[in-house]
Amino acid sequence: MTKIRIATTSLAGCFGCHTSFLDMDERLVELLEHVEFDRSPLNDIKHCGPCDIGLVEGGLCNADNVHVLREFRANCRVLVAVGACAINGGIPAMRNHFGLGACLEESYLNGIGVEDPQIPDDAELPLLLDKVHPIHEVVRVDYYLPGCPPSPEGFLSVLGDLLEGREPMLPKKLLHYD
Ligand code: SF4
């Protein structure tokens, strides 16, 4: 039986959406009869190859996020924005109320508990974007799975529809925007 290939990533997110995905517990065993994983924090594969479905948690806060997202869009037939941070920027986008310089100063120079104040500038650190962006502002998104995080049942509903070749249609009881 050919399995559906899924890639997942967490950009500017907290991994809470991935944790909720794993909260499907024993239902994951049944799901694995139908799917296999490409790039994902679940298996630590670092690059996305050709896939059927890409699940993207988190918005875009730095240049590396943009690079990973573009790699997902180029390789995934269907791209799903998972959770509030991917859909509208979520909690990381709260920094958009302030300038990037003010955020860095508060975090690394003047904030409570800061010791040895200095703003990190290692060349390997990805360049921060001025604002945090939802992923649809950079690539085309096919479907949205709202929630903070979406419930395991939400993941199963969307993946079940896609596995059956249907348009994902979340039942009203699974549709929430917390
Ligand atoms: S939507 Fe909620 S759970 Fe998911 S990455 Fe954002 S803050 Fe974390």
Beta-bridge partners for 81 = 56, 144
Residue 127 DSSP class: P
In the reported structure, the alpha carbon of residue 108 is separated from the centroid of ligand 1 by a whole-number distance in angstroms of 24
Domain CATH for 20: 3.40.50.700
Give the pair of three-digit tokens for residue 147.
């929630």
Domain hosting 159: range is 4-92+128-174
Can you give the pLDDT at residue 132? 98
* Pairwise CA distance, residues 178 & 30, whole Å: 28
Which one of 55, 85, 88 would you pick to mutate in the ligand 1 pocket, going by the greatest count of ligand atoms within 8 A of its CB? Answer: 85
Domain membership of residue 71 (yes or no) is yes
Domain membership of residue 104 (yes or no) is no
Residue 43 DSSP class: T
Domain membership of residue 110 (yes or no) is no
Coil vs helix vs strand at 137? helix
Domain membership of residue 113 (yes or no) is no
pLDDT means per 10 residues in the chain (178 residues)?
92 97 94 95 92 98 98 98 97 97 96 94 96 98 96 96 93 82
